[in-house]
Structure 1
Amino acid sequence: MREARRRHYGAFYGLAPAPGDDGRPLVLVHGNCQAESLRVLADSPGSPVRTVRMPPVHELTGDDLPCLEKLLGQADAVVSQPIRAGYRGLPLGTADVMAATAPGTRLVMVPVIRWAALHPFQVIVRSPQAGDPPVVPYHDLRTMGRATGAVPAFSGGFVRAVRDISVRELVERQRRHGTIDVVDLLLDAGSRACQVINHPGNEVLRGTAHRMLEALGLPWDPRDPGRVLLDSVHAPLAGPTLEALGLDGEETTNWQVHGKTVPDTEIQQAHLEWYRRHPGLAEQGLQRHAEVARLLFTH
């Protein structure tokens, strides 16, 4: 498995030739799976930049640092999501990686995109002790409510309120970290904005990649790759949610998880049992997302 991974990131590890210097700037894209999708788009045919596929930041280890530092020393520009200094005890934060670049290397910040408008009950709760819930690593506020005895009261007003919270939080993150702006891309994409709350659709990613390159002074429209870039998990898209937001789109009732159809009821039951095995976690999740939970359980 380790060798297969090293081959997958062959140019990063020096097992395959890095893109040759053909006059185009070398741009490294640093972050999570969204960052890799932006790199794929920026590397499509006709691109004004060269890129190197790198492991996502949460997979990098101390052993990878020499490879990372070598590439950073060659980079003309770095595109980075906001990553705190000393991330996971390693010099992987945005400021850390920029300190390893040559003088004059440009930096463009892109936001970590989370968009709850299409999946207003879906949240992410990190638990170092319990890990992720089974089947999919996404929690549902309604299921957490069931685990704690709370009864949700769905309304169109709740859906629109969650959309507005998503806008507010993303605008604030963009402002705080000095990133490019992507809020309008999500709003304009409508029902195509995302597959799950942290996997934006191709339309949003292409717009983000365009603005990323524009910020580097190299405006260019990336081609659609002909496949869904963040395709591992698709959450159901509820008709009442689309109606509340005034969006066109086809209602779905099942999840698609790594190509397999999984009924939402199956995931609900698996998560309820998981909460029973981890007492207090559902309550912690509701507290972590208290603003939205208050709206859901009081409407």
Structure 2
Amino acid sequence: MATRLLVFANCQSNPLASTLGVMSPDVEIIRCPPVHTIPAAKTDSVFDLLSQADMIVHQPIGQGFGPISSDAIKERFPEKHYASFPSVYYGGVFPQLRYLRRPGGGTLSGPLTDYHDMRILKSFLDDMPVEACVEKLENDGSDYQDLVTAAKQESYAREVGVDVPVMKWVEEALQERPCFYTFNHPDNKLLWLIAEHLLQQLGLPISPDAKLRQKPFLGEISAAVPRGIAQALGASWRRDLYAINGEEIAWRDIVERFYALYASVADLRTIVDFNRKRSMIPLI
């Protein structure tokens, strides 16, 4: 009889669940919505899904999620088998990339969904012409070492206490590939490695015939990597442009789209100040 397995996590939950299902012949996946999309009115339906699972793979879900936090779930279902992994996140390859949270709730969306390039934002706030901003981005020789160090510390802090930490693998692989499409969207190879170790943690078999999926699970937005980052890593790869669904976007197009967005946001400086105060890593 197959082991019923549920992944309880953020946007990484469904890709990881699919990978686990492909990798182990003894696993039956119970699908659950990403935790950040679950409204309070739907918690009973989530409890029903969790009750059906034999094993629960989860990220550390904080107390702010109330009855669906990790601790609350373990208290409600003490008989389940659990294995944890971090919210897989690394900003060291993309030190320029951030969300812009609104003070009243929600996130400012734009040309790259919820992601913003702080170099473009700063150029806009400094009244830099589009042409000058484009030139700056194309020839970015900035020293990002302090931001990379802060990002690494943040990512390691997210892993404290989990069963399957991830950052050691990221550091080992970075010379060969960036490992992420954006700071919270790992590539399929990294998801595969996480799934492999979670199955080992749970004592579940791994099929020798399982194949890595080639189409990215989380590659809708592929973020540009500043040249100084790849150079500092001694990396053999380059990612000079942003891409949306695999189509690269010229810098001028990206800058013009962001400038138009920021010009339309009346409370932009309030949003920037709010994010500057709440960020662990310098904003701009």
If the TM-score is normalised by the length of the shorter chain, which range does it land in? 0.7 to 0.9
Once the two structures are superposed, the pairs formed by residues 99-114 of structure 1 within 5 Å of their partners are: 99-101=75-77, 103-114=78-89
Calculate the TM-score normalised by the size of structure 2.
0.81
Once the two structures are superposed, the pairs formed by residues 22-33 of structure 1 within 5 Å of their partners are: 22=1, 24-33=2-11
Closer/same/farther in 2, CA of residues 68 and 287 from structure 1, 3 Å limit: closer
The answer as to 2:260 corresponding to 1:284 is: no
Deviation at 1:26, TM superposition (A): 1.3
The answer (yes or no) to whether the contact 1:85–1:93 under 8 Å persists in 2 is yes
* Equivalent residue letter for 2:108: D
The answer (yes or no) to whether the contact 2:91–2:97 under 8 Å persists in 1 is yes
1:229 to 192, 217, 226: 217
Question: Cα deviation per residue 1:24-58 (whole Å; 9 max; x = unaligned)?
Answer: 32111011121221111100054332211221112
Number of residue equivalences: 266
The answer as to 2:101 corresponding to 1:126 is: yes
Segments of 4+ moved more than 6 angstroms: 150-153
- Counterpart for residue 178 of structure 1: 162
2:197 to 211, 216, 221: 211
Question: Cα deviation per residue 1:71-104 (whole Å; 9 max; x = unaligned)?
Answer: 22222211111212352xx622222333332x42
Report the Cα distance in structure 1 between the residues aligned to 2:68 and 2:224, rounded to whole angstroms. Answer: 35
2:26 to 31, 40, 48: 48
Question: Cα deviation per residue 1:215-256 (whole Å; 9 max; x = unaligned)?
Answer: 212363763122211121111234332112211113332x22
The higher-RCO structure (CA 8 Å, 6+ apart) is 2
- Counterpart for residue 147 of structure 2: 162
Calculate the TM-score normalised by the size of structure 1.
0.77
- Counterpart for residue 38 of structure 1: 16
**Identity of paired residues, percent?**
21
Deviation at 1:114, TM superposition (A): 1.5
* Equivalent residue letter for 2:178: R
Report the Cα distance in structure 2 between the residues aligned to 1:115 and 1:132, rounded to whole angstroms. Answer: 21
The answer (yes or no) to whether the contact 1:41–1:223 under 8 Å persists in 2 is no
Unaligned 5+ runs, structure 1: 1-21
Unaligned 5+ runs, structure 2: 129-135
